[in-house]
Amino acid sequence: VAESGRVVAAIAPHLKDKRRVEVIPEQRRRRRPEAKVAETRYEVLQRYGAFTLLRVRASPALRHQVRVHLASAGHPIAGDALYGGPALPGLDRQFLHAEVLALMQPRTNKPLRFVSHLPPDLDRALAQGAEADLINGTVLRADGQVRQVEIATTALPDHGRTVMQASRPTMTPST
């Protein structure tokens, strides 16, 4: 995973699996008018051996946007079986957490901001990753761009390609 990057791609409901969404290539956009273009930005916070912790920002924050954008870039979120993410030892769910959510209150049109700290299971997974990282000692940092909707933490596999995520820490496998 590059230190920072972005994925800009149209997404739409998957035609065969209603649980999923899919990236719609430009050449197929006319046949899929329901597809919406979305942008996912990411920055590497730290590498943990086979995984990389990312902060991700999604715009406009569509259903499964971060998950499908990262998977389409070859870096599915750790534990995300629906989009091909590898298992993360000691974790029985995807490593994805909405750390900050910002939106406009529909009736008053006032901004709302919600913050949620990393849950204990993800915190433990990070601690285990940090212990493993003491062996290989690789740490990367990158600047991110502020977005209205920030999504929190997620772990992704790193296959040497540029990936992008929304304002959310996330774990992904590294190579």
Q: What pLDDT score was predicted for residue 90?
A: 79
120-158 pLDDT per residue, tens: 998 888 887 766 654 332 222 222 322 222 233 344 444
CA 42, CA 54: separation in Å to the nearest integer?
Answer: 6
Residues with Cβ within 8 Å of residue 93, at least 6 apart in sequence: 79, 121
In the predicted structure, residue 79 carries a pLDDT above the cut 70: yes
Indicate the pTM of the whole model: 0.74
- Both tokens of 174, joined, read 């590294």
Q: What pLDDT score was predicted for residue 162?
A: 28
